[in-house]
Amino acid sequence: MQRYLRTRLGLQMFLCGAVNGAWQPVLPPYLKQLGLGEFEIAVCLATVPVATMISPLAAGQAADRWFASERLVSLLSLLTGVLMFAARPIVGFAPFVGAFFAAMLVAAPLFPMSTSLALQNLPDGARDFPLVRACGTLGHVSGANLLSLWLWITHGSFRDCLLVAGILALTNAVYSLTLPNTPPRRDTAGRSAIGRAAGMLRDPGTALFFGLLFCVQLFGTSYYARGPLFLLESGVSREGLSSLMSVGQITEVAVVLLLPVIFGRWGAKGTIAVGIAAWSARFFFWSAASSFPPLVTAVALHGVCFACARIASTIYVDRICPRDARSSAQSLLSLAVDGSGNFLGNFLIGAVATRYTIGGAVQWGRVWKVPAVGCAAVLLVFLLAFRPRRGPVDAPAPAAD
């Protein structure tokens, strides 16, 4: 029964990943295809983290206090599909930003809600969740390659990413209704789930943890925001871009499957430190890349970056958060990392790319040194200052070594 439960939750995570995989890798070149400039591209990309700063907390409050999580995920997926279809034919800058932002507002809570839903139903999150989360990564790979196959068969344009993503979102909306009933857990004192989750930040160690993860994403956003453009300028074909980017998700699956062992042996601090180090290394690879192997190596490092830093952080936050605010705690993490970090990171890398553009050509080697050094600095602070907790923040618990 436990294996069957993991399969059901894993399939839902697979569909969530497939939705993102269909549009995320090709969004920057699609915006270029629309004829947008660097600042306009930064604004469009910023709609994703801005939405992540707004809607996940509201969705987390709803899931923790008012609605069954699986029904909320279904509704959000339905709205995502409809709005993706609506954004596809739009070509003007302002109309596209508005339509895409609306789609992101309902799509942004999907992964935090799916994560919380899985963790609430699994017997042992640290042991069982990595396998379920690996299905999300497989979904991302499948969505990216499905788009590549679609473009190869139809000879379509990058805007078809919104069509494919919309179809996958509607599929997720239907499937989510079959998941285990996960009702809200109301606080007997009437306290809001958002307030309970935000109260974690009164603990200095937890506040430092969230702040450092924000900084990692501030620099790490460069990979998503400008990586596809860099690869295209380095000779990667339009049809092969999604497939190449999916190499990172393939390695992520391997690392995620090993995550229970890594987490158990090295703990939260050691595991996350490896992830941050991989972020720095990948940007150093790109800054010195003069041939194809370093390009692919940096992409392949995504597995270590994301699994050891982001997914391990998800498990750690679920371990230390209040038991009646688990959805809101994941949403708070999403706000700090996927929201605020991505939002400011988009503009940071846009400014860096503009600063190092000479004669219309971006000096990518100099661009990538900025996030490489930035992530290295974050790693140093993390190693020297962070001490993980053993139990929930709202309960007395000694710090772990």
pLDDT digit string, tens, across residues 20-58 = 888 877 787 788 877 777 778 878 877 887 888 888 777
| Vertex 185 angle, CA 7 and 330, to 5° | 60
| Residues in the chain where the model's pLDDT stays below 50 | 1, 189, 395-401
User: In degrees to the nearest 10, what's the CA dihedral of 212, 76, 169, 243?
Assistant: -10
Q: Provide the pLDDT for residue 2.
A: 52
Alpha helices per DSSP H over 234-311:
241-287, 292-300, 302-305
In a domain, 394, yes or no: no
Residue 319 structure tokens: 């371990």
Q: Provide the pLDDT for residue 375.
A: 95
Residue type, 154: T
Q: Provide the pLDDT for residue 188.
A: 52
| Cβ(14)–Cβ(142) below 8 Å | yes
The H helix count followed by the E strand count for the chain is 17, 2
User: CB burial class (10 A; 0-12, 13-18, 19+) of residue 3?
Assistant: exposed
What distance in Å separates the CA atoms of residue 111 and residue 73, rounded to the nearest whole number?
9
What distance in Å separates the CA atoms of residue 69 and residue 67, rounded to the nearest whole number?
6
In a domain, 168, yes or no: yes
Residue 374 structure tokens: 């930035």
The domain tally of the chain equals 1
| Cβ(56)–Cβ(340) below 8 Å | no
| Cβ(180)–Cβ(70) below 8 Å | yes
What distance in Å separates the CA atoms of residue 342 and residue 108, rounded to the nearest whole number?
12
Q: 163: domain range?
A: 2-385
Residue type, 350: G
Q: Provide the pLDDT for residue 187.
A: 53
Residue 223 structure tokens: 């990979």
Quick: pLDDT tens for 236-268: 776 677 678 778 878 888 888 888 888 888 888
In a domain, 396, yes or no: no
Domain containing residue 104: CATH number:
1.20.1250.20
User: In degrees to the nearest 10, what's the CA dihedral of 157, 162, 163, 166?
Assistant: 170
Residue type, 360: G
| Cβ(286)–Cβ(298) below 8 Å | yes
Give the residue among 162, 142, 284, 291 at the shortest CA–CA distance from 222.
284
In a domain, 395, yes or no: no
Give the chain's end-to-end CA distance (angstroms, integer). 36
In a domain, 400, yes or no: no
In a domain, 392, yes or no: no
Exposure letters 270-294 (e unless 16+ CB within 10 A, then b): ebbbbbbbbbbbbbbbbbebeeeeb
In a domain, 70, yes or no: yes
What distance in Å separates the CA atoms of residue 274 and residue 59, rounded to the nearest whole number?
31
Q: Provide the pLDDT for residue 400.
A: 46
Give the residue among 206, 198, 158, 125 at the shortest CA–CA distance from 388.
206
Give the residue among 338, 19, 53, 55 at the shortest CA–CA distance from 176.
19
Lookup result for tokens 């790979």: 141
In a domain, 397, yes or no: no
Lookup result for tokens 């508005």: 98
How large is the greatest C-alpha to C-alpha distance in the chain, in angstroms?
A: 64
Give the residue among 307, 296, 227 at the shortest CA–CA distance from 274.
307
Residue type, 181: N
| Cβ(307)–Cβ(252) below 8 Å | yes
- Pairing between strand 361-362 and 357-358? antiparallel
Q: Provide the pLDDT for residue 186.
A: 61
3-class DSSP assignment, residue 399: strand
pTM equals 0.74
> Quick one: DSSP state of residue 389?
B
| Cβ(118)–Cβ(132) below 8 Å | yes
